[in-house]
């Protein structure tokens, strides 16, 4: 079966635009609300990244941390996360979902159990922030057997030799971290330079999709639209926090934001 | 799982940094792969470089103050009435604790790599204080990440850091203690690894940090071995080494030179923080059977819930208040080379009272945990047994807690 992630990129290419990927934390601010957010943004987002909240995240900035702590405080558990995804997929089978998290949560669930559960609830891809290459080789193979993409992360610090090896082992989609930063940092490198790095990586194997993430907001997304795909995470988490603070409905506000983001890359 | 003889424990990990094929490793974001590899290459080269070792030894001797004393606690021995109780007074070291060794080595490495800024985490404030001292000594800028709760309870060390010119960055996330400080420090490094050197304050974190810290604190057991031979003519036939264990840097350093000895001759006892007697929370993952998990880049025994969320800890001693434990100690536990137990907050306070009543020694709350178990066990040990407790920190930093819990006369 064709992985819906690849289908989403194909569709975006046909429309001559970058794919829009959103990141929200499962269970933020409640189980129901995070499902509602997924439902409402899926009209404009091409691929939905769903974060597994973790309480010692070593690569996330304050916005995503706030969302994660909020979700954990509201009692989210691993099985709830799978349920949210399954419920979403029951309504919208073709919309690709990427689960993103830290390895300890997978390790405790049991790698095999975790992948089985991913498969049965409809997860199409996985990003494991703290399971770099080559440590991830075995796990990536196991993902492949389940037709789940294991998405490799690439960074400005990744050496050229290492880039080549990672891309060689990578599945059809990889994720380029725009700059040295945790998630949600201010874009401290010019979009031009980010794209220069991006194109260098893209050349290694042009057939493979590479998305750019970290520091992408309404302001910066338009300047990066020549990439295969763009990920917006912290800006969305921030919008949820802002809505809650002003007692507004996060679902409608986030939905509006995603719509605006989409317009910028058309 | 087996220990190898003749190879330093820090070098017994496999290619991916796992001890016993299981503990440690490098579970880090991609961005940190390169800086970690660079640091590994630098350390592997320098740790065998005679010039570098001579430089290290020069600073250890003239600046840190080596060797620290090895003294018999005559009155305490008489009072307890069992084994001979001795102490290695590591708190003699410049700054008042063992953290100075790791801080010094990290600053020497930072200098070699051309980095101008060094960052570090701290719990009790010792790791931060020592890093700020070393940074000042070697002309580096210094930032220290510290949980807001720890800042409130370890003010003397916070003041010292600031006096040394370091920026102390309060961490408000999570439990606002050491675990969050380490996370925040790693996050800062992710964003600034091109200009900044990171020092992890204990034998925890990605494998290279475990190795550097263990290599540095091993100075303690190198000195102790010489002192034992000076005193007894050889390493005693019945030797027991007691040490508190938080992240595990002082205990590892205290034991390292003796790992190849048979445990019947030289036993290691690690004392974790059991927390308040009435609380279910603790910082004793080895004693209370916590599950294996991943924390701060390394596989280890760690307090966590069934999903893998890291659990909050509780201990009177900020320096032991960490949910995980060094992969080196996990390895020493599973190979049964070391024995681990816990002492409660109350045990530690009582031990502090006993030690200060009989001896001119003021162990901080961390080593007071080790004294508690050493005193209890010494009673039942033969008179020819030599018990040595590492007094790895000075109680000055705990004065507010001691005043509150025990009253003014104990400060």
Domain map (residue ranges) of chain B = 27-59+99-214, 67-96+218-410
Mean pLDDT across the stretch B329-340? 98
Instruction: Give the Cα separation of A149 and A141 in Å (integer).
Output: 9
Q: What integer pLDDT is reported at residue A110 of this predicted model?
A: 98
Is the pLDDT at B30 greater than 80? The verdict is: yes
Q: How does residue B291 score in pLDDT terms, banded at 50, 70 and 90?
A: very high
- In this chain, the answer to whether the domains covering B27-59+99-214 and B67-96+218-410 adopt an identical fold is yes
Instruction: Give the Cα separation of B122 and B111 in Å (integer).
Output: 21
CB pairs under 8 A between A and B: 114
Q: Write down the CATH number for the domain with range B67-96+218-410.
A: 3.40.50.1100
Q: Does the structural domain B27-59+99-214 have CATH classification 3.90.1150.10?
A: no
pLDDT, averaged across chain A: 97
A114, closest residue in chain B (CA to CA) = B307
Active site residue A135: no
What is the distance of C-alpha B100 from the center of its chain? 11
A30-44, A163-177, B148-162: segment of lowest average pLDDT = B148-162
How many domains are there within chain A? 1
Give pLDDT tens digits for B116-150: 999 999 988 999 999 999 999 999 999 999 999 99
A34-38, A50-54, B151-155: segment of lowest average pLDDT = B151-155
Give pLDDT tens digits for B221-268: 999 999 999 999 999 999 999 999 999 999 999 999 999 999 999 999
Q: In chain B, what residues touch A25 (CB-CB under 8 Å)?
A: none
Using an 8 Å CB-CB cutoff, list residues of chain B that contact chain A.
16, 25-35, 173-174, 179-180, 183, 186-187, 190-194, 291, 293-297, 304, 306-310
> Under an 8 A CB cutoff, do B310 and A77 touch?
no
A159, closest residue in chain B (CA to CA) = B34
Q: How far is B206 from chain A (nearest CA, A)?
A: 11
> Under an 8 A CB cutoff, do A135 and B291 touch?
no
Cα dihedral A24→A25→A30→A34 (10° resolution): 30
- Strand pairing class (A209-213; A173-177): parallel
Q: What integer pLDDT is reported at residue A145 of this predicted model?
A: 97
Give the range of the structural domain holding residue A241, as residue numbers without chain letter.
4-265
Instruction: Give the Cα separation of A169 and A158 in Å (integer).
Output: 15
DSSP string, B22-44: TEE-----GGGHHHHHHHHHHHH
Instruction: Give the Cα separation of B316 and B322 in Å (integer).
Output: 12
Q: What integer pLDDT is reported at residue B124 of this predicted model?
A: 86
Nearest neighbour of A58 by CB, restricted to B34, B183, B309: B183
Q: How does residue B174 score in pLDDT terms, banded at 50, 70 and 90?
A: confident
User: Do residues A80 and A27 make contact, with C-beta atoms less than 8 angstroms apart?
Assistant: yes
Q: Which of A49, A209, A228, A239 is catalytic?
A: A49
Q: What percent of chain B has pLDDT over 90?
A: 96
Is the pLDDT at B295 greater than 70? The verdict is: yes
> Under an 8 A CB cutoff, do B309 and A155 touch?
no
Mean pLDDT across the stretch B189-212? 97
Give pLDDT tens digits for B38-59: 999 999 999 999 999 999 999 9
CATH of the domain at A113: 3.20.20.70
Nearest neighbour of B31 by CB, restricted to A106, A108, A157: A157
Element of type H or E holding B102: helix B99-113
Mean pLDDT across the stretch B306-323? 94
pLDDT, averaged across chain B: 97
Instruction: Give the Cα separation of B103 and B8 in Å (integer).
Output: 21
Instruction: Give the Cα separation of A235 and A223 in Å (integer).
Output: 16
Q: What is the DSSP letter of A46?
A: S
Residue B69 burial by Cβ neighbours in a 10 Å radius (0-12, 13-18, 19+): middle
Q: In chain A, what residues touch B33 (CB-CB under 8 Å)?
A: 132, 155, 157-158, 162
Give pLDDT tens digits for A57-116: 999 999 999 999 999 999 999 999 999 999 999 999 999 999 999 999 999 999 999 999
Is the pLDDT at B298 greater than 70? The verdict is: yes
Q: Does A16 touch chain B (CB under 8 A)?
A: no
Closest listed residue to residue B126, CA positions, set B181, B201, B69, B220: B201
Give pLDDT tens digits for A177-232: 999 999 998 899 999 999 999 999 999 999 999 999 999 999 999 999 999 999 99
Q: What is the DSSP letter of B135?
A: H
Q: What integer pLDDT is reported at residue A1 of this predicted model?
A: 59
> Under an 8 A CB cutoff, do B309 and A153 touch?
no
Give pLDDT tens digits for B72-103: 999 999 999 999 999 999 999 999 999 999 99
Q: What integer pLDDT is reported at residue A25 of this predicted model?
A: 98
- ipTM of this complex: 0.96
Q: Does A161 touch chain B (CB under 8 A)?
A: no
Active site residue A60: yes
> Under an 8 A CB cutoff, do A162 and B26 touch?
no
Q: How does residue A2 score in pLDDT terms, banded at 50, 70 and 90?
A: confident
């Amino acid at each position: 079966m064709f992985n819906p992630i690849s289908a989403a990129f194909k569709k975006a290419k046909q429309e001559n635009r970058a794919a829009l990927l959103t990141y929200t934390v499962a269970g933020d601010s409640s189980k129901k609300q995070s499902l509602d957010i997924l439902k409402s943004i899926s009209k404009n987002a091409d691929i939905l990244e769903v974060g597994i909240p973790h309480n010692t995240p070593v690569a996330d900035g304050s916005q995503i941390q706030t969302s994660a702590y909020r979700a954990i405080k509201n009692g989210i558990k691993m099985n709830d996360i799978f349920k949210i995804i399954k419920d979403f997929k029951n309504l919208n089978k073709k919309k690709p979902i990427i689960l993103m998290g830290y390895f300890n949560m997978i390790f405790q669930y049991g790698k095999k159990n975790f992948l089985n559960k991913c498969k049965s609830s409809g997860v199409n891809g996985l990003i494991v922030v703290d399971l770099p290459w080559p440590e991830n080789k075995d796990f990536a193979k196991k993902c492949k057997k389940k037709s789940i993409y294991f998405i490799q992360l690439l960074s400005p610090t990744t050496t050229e030799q290492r880039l080549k090896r990672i891309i060689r082992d990578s599945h059809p989609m990889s994720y380029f971290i725009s700059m040295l930063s945790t998630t949600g940092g201010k874009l401290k490198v010019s979009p031009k330079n980010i794209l220069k790095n991006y194109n260098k990586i893209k050349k290694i194997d042009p057939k493979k999709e590479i998305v750019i993430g970290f520091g992408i907001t309404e302001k910066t997304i338009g300047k990066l639209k020549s990439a295969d795909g763009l990920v917006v995470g912290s800006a969305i988490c921030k919008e949820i926090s802002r809505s809650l603070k002003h007692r507004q409905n996060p679902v409608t506000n986030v939905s509006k934001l995603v719509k605006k983001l989409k317009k910028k890359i058309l | 799982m087996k220990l190898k003889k003749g190879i330093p424990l820090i070098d017994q990990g496999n290619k991916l940094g796992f001890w016993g094929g299981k503990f440690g490793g490098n579970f880090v974001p991609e961005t940190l792969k390169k800086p970690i590899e660079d640091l590994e290459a630098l350390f592997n080269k320098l740790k065998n470089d005679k010039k570098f070792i001579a430089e290290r030894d020069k600073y250890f001797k003239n600046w840190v103050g080596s060797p620290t004393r090895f003294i018999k606690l005559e009155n305490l021995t008489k009072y307890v009435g069992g084994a001979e109780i001795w102490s290695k007074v590591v708190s003699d070291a410049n700054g008042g604790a063992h953290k100075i060794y790791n801080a010094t080595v990290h600053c020497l490495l930072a200098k070699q790599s051309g980095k101008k800024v060094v960052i570090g985490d701290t719990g009790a404030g010792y790791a931060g204080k020592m890093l700020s001292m070393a940074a000042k000594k070697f002309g580096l800028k210094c930032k220290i990440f510290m949980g807001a709760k720890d800042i409130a309870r370890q003010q003397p060390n916070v003041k010292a850091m600031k006096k040394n010119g370091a920026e102390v960055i309060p961490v408000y996330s999570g439990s606002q203690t050491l675990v969050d400080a380490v996370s925040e420090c790693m996050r800062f490094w992710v964003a600034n690894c091109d200009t900044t050197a990171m020092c992890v304050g204990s034998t925890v974190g990605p494998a290279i940090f475990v190795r550097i810290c263990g290599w540095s604190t091993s100075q303690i057991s190198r000195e102790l071995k010489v002192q034992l031979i000076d005193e007894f003519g050889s390493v005693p036939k019945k030797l027991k080494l007691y040490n508190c264990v938080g992240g595990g840097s002082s205990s590892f350093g205290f034991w390292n030179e003796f790992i190849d000895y048979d445990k019947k001759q030289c036993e290691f006892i690690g004392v974790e923080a059991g927390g308040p007697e009435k609380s279910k929370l603790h910082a004793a993952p080895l004693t209370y059977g916590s599950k294996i998990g991943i924390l701060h880049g390394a596989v280890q025994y760690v307090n966590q819930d069934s999903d893998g969320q890291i659990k909050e800890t509780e201990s009177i001693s900020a320096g032991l208040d960490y949910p995980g434990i060094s992969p080196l100690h996990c390895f020493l536990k599973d190979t049964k080379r070391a024995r681990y137990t816990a002492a409660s907050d109350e045990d530690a306070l009582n031990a502090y009272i006993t030690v200060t009543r009989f001896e001119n020694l003021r162990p901080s709350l961390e080593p007071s945990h080790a004294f508690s178990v050493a005193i209890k066990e010494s009673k039942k040990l033969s008179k020819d047994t030599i018990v040595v407790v590492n007094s790895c920190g000075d109680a000055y930093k705990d004065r507010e807690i001691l005043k509150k819990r025990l009253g003014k006369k104990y400060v």
